[in-house]
Structure 1
Amino acid sequence: MAGQGRSRRQRRRAVALGAAALVLASGCAAPAPPDSTGRDIQAVLDRRAAAVVGRDESAYLRVLDPQAKAERTAEQREFRNLAEVPLGSWGYRLKSVRRTGTRATAEADLEYRIKGYDKAPAVSARTLDLVERSGTWFIAADRADKGAGRLLWQQGKVTAVAGGHSLVLGVGQRESLLREVAAVEDRAVPAVDSAWKEKWAGRVVVLMPSSLEAMASLLGAPAASYRGIAAVTTGEAGGSGSAPADRVIVNPQAYAILGEFGQRVVVTHETTHVATREHTSAATPLWLSEGFADWVAYRGSGRTAPQAAPELQTAVRAGSLPATLPTDEDFGFGGDADRLARAYEGGWLACKLIAEEWGEAKLTAFYRAVGAHKTRDGSVENAMNEVLGTTPEDFAARWREYLRGQLG
């Protein structure tokens, strides 16, 4: 019995030693505490966003690296440049963080809304460099992602002019000119409403930078791509249907040389893109989106086809009648200016043909049907069959005859 007692004690001691060994082993293999870098950096960005919305310059500067003197000066200037912009919201959505020691690089989307105008936020992809000092993260640099455009307030102090249906934000422009642009926009919105019966915001934000180069900088593209282009609308094609905040961006140099009628056509054209945004998708060919915008812009103007399509008329009279409707490639900026003009004119006349032969209601129904298709392949064919009762081949033949009759 005594031997059995010792054996039990030995077994109990062995079990206890084994348990202790397991505790020690588990202690050595315990997982490291989770890295809180992402959460901490998001908190820094949240504080910065709250400072912008609250117009708190001191709080805005507190999240900046105290040793990055040049960055602090630039950021303070940008903060003050924003003073007249009526912000409804401002926030950052952190996408990724790469940390090396006390330094980190973060990829984030800046999402902001203009109060009273934006249904959804405008988005700017940003890259931020951060540094950790005494356990606290600070922003050392903030720049646009590669290929993304600069922000208007990074170009100078923003002057804001509100119209009845518009907000014009300008940098380096006379306030009187911004008011003229707002007046043109205020005429454009009712013109679009009368042609496009679908619900839309009925309000437009227009950006007017100081130069062509500044315009290109906002778009993240070479200036040569927009030389001679009076205005563009961001996000006008290939949309997801969520209607992100569109901006009409004016090229001040090209806009200035237009007459009153030309300015009205350009602004109405771009406003049409804003209005049709929710029904414009990757399935919509550019001949339709651009042609429809021109159709709205010229609607009721009394302009004849030869007056509004001089380049295409020259081609038709020279015996170069287009074989097909304009392709997306024909609308490329920075290429052949005559080819670009013919593409716009051809798209306009295609939409004008539909409005005259099938009716304006059928034209807008056709536009919606094309945009609702899941892919580009088959979008026009299906919509022509279902809405217009024709085929792309038949329509192209009728369009060519229409060009010959209108421009020959």
Structure 2
Amino acid sequence: MPRGRPVLRVLPLLPLLPLLLCALLTACGAPAAPRDTAERDVRQAVAGWSRTPPERLAGIPLEGWSYEVTSVRRASARAATARAELRYRLAGYDTAPAGSARELALAEEGGRWRVTADRPAPGALPQLWDQGAVTVTRGARSLVLGGEGQSPRTLSGIAAEADRAVPAVSSAWPREWAGRVVVLVPASLERMAELLGRPADTYRGLGAVTTGQIGAGPAPADRVVVNPQAYPELSEQGRRIVLTHEVTHVATRAATSARTPLWLSEGFADWAAYRKTSTTPAQGAPTLARAVRRGELPAALPTTEAFAFGGDPEAAARAYEGAWLACRLIAEKWGEAGLVALYEAAGREPLPNALAQALGTDLDTLTRAWQESLRGELG
């Protein structure tokens, strides 16, 4: 073997040794220079900009306002888009930060990045203030946020009605809850639909709805959303019943889970709303009364599908009325404490277990008693 051959193999590698050594050091954890300092600057710009809520939110009792950037996309050398999660609380009302997915537009000027626009991220629901100026009205137990164009007089009336609803709910639901409520009053039915992410026709005949997460523990962002088209058309008692119903959903949220039958959730809310009124079953359940008089006695307690928004309005009316009368029957036969105990148990256990645990009965017995009461009170 020629003596010079090994030397010929080594010499071409010598210029590569610094590069190999650098690669080895990097792989072992040696620091490397950032690839894109602009992304770092964009994140810093968002952090600095988000320390103070925008001026258009003045008057809303915000705290903990912050944006957590999740991604940055460069559109050009001087333009970028950041995706972020907005976190905030309504001071005195929210028990934990509410969240909102946002998209921020940024521009670079004079070597500095600044935020030029803040909007809902694609697919995310808007906040009320995304729709225009917000008017704030404070009640004794309520915070009412009105959309652009809502009059202070209208908002004050809603605050007064919400203030009356809160103690009525506390009397029906003798469990710990916040004892206060946030009410949103959008500018129009279409704006309401935007906030809730569904077609406007879904809410056309409803006075109000409640948003919020279902699960163990209080929801940080329960909101009652008033339908600005349908709510003013209600009578004074109608408005009171609607708001008390929705505030009941806020109060019972911590005890409500995916296990809770919808007839129990909606029926309990109506029971709390009608509880201190003189409304008779025939007056409060006219649609179901007509069906019973025709001989169409329900074969079972209302199903989840019967309550669907945008479905058959007559079927939905019968479902709500039947659910109310079922809870009314339970409160009369097993006591109000029994109804509350059933609600709590049904959020933890399958319904047959909850009925046995709270009332000492079963579903067939309850259904027969309910059917009998419908015949007697509506037939």
Say yes or no: TM over 0.5.
Answer: yes
1:167-222 deviation digits (Å, cap 9, x = unpaired): 11112111111111111111111101111111111111111112111111111221
Taking the TM superposition and a 5 Å limit, the aligned residue runs for 1:3-402 are 23-28=18-23, 30=26, 32-33=32-33, 40-52=41-53, 79-98=54-73, 102=77, 104-130=80-106, 136-171=112-147, 172-235=149-212, 238-373=214-349, 379-402=350-373
Assess if the C-alpha contact under 8 Å between 1:207 and 1:250 holds in 2.
Answer: yes
Assess if the C-alpha contact under 8 Å between 2:49 and 2:115 holds in 1.
Answer: no
Q: 1:358 to 1:88 in 2, by over 3 A?
A: same
1:303-345 deviation digits (Å, cap 9, x = unpaired): 1111001111111111221222212221111221111111111
Secondary structure, aligned partner of 1:265: helix
Shift of 1:163: 1.0
Amino acid of the structure 2 residue aligned with 1:194: S
TM-score under structure 2 normalisation?
0.87
Unaligned runs of 5+ in 2: 1-9
TM-score under structure 1 normalisation?
0.81
Q: 1:278 to 1:183 in 2, by over 3 A?
A: same
- Structure 2 distance, partners of 1:226, 1:286, is 18
Secondary structure, aligned partner of 1:393: helix
- Structure 2 distance, partners of 1:41, 1:282, is 41
Shift of 1:133: 6.0
Shift of 1:116: 1.7
Shift of 1:231: 0.5
Amino acid of the structure 2 residue aligned with 1:316: V
The percent identity for this pair of structures is 55
Amino acid of the structure 1 residue aligned with 2:46: L
Secondary structure, aligned partner of 2:320: helix
Shift of 1:101: 6.5
Determine the structure 1 residue equivalent to 2:3.
none
Output the aligned Cα RMSD.
2.7
Figure out how many residues of one structure are paired with residues of the other and give that number: 365
Assess if the C-alpha contact under 8 Å between 2:216 and 2:255 holds in 1.
Answer: no
Q: 1:339 to 1:51 in 2, by over 3 A?
A: same
Unaligned runs of 5+ in 1: 1-14, 53-78, 374-378
- Structure 2 distance, partners of 1:182, 1:255, is 13
Determine the structure 1 residue equivalent to 2:6.
none
Secondary structure, aligned partner of 1:51: coil
Q: 1:349 to 1:97 in 2, by over 3 A?
A: farther
Q: 1:386 to 1:42 in 2, by over 3 A?
A: farther
Moved more, 125-134 or 212-221: 125-134
Q: 1:40 to 1:390 in 2, by over 3 A?
A: farther
- Structure 2 distance, partners of 1:208, 1:257, is 15
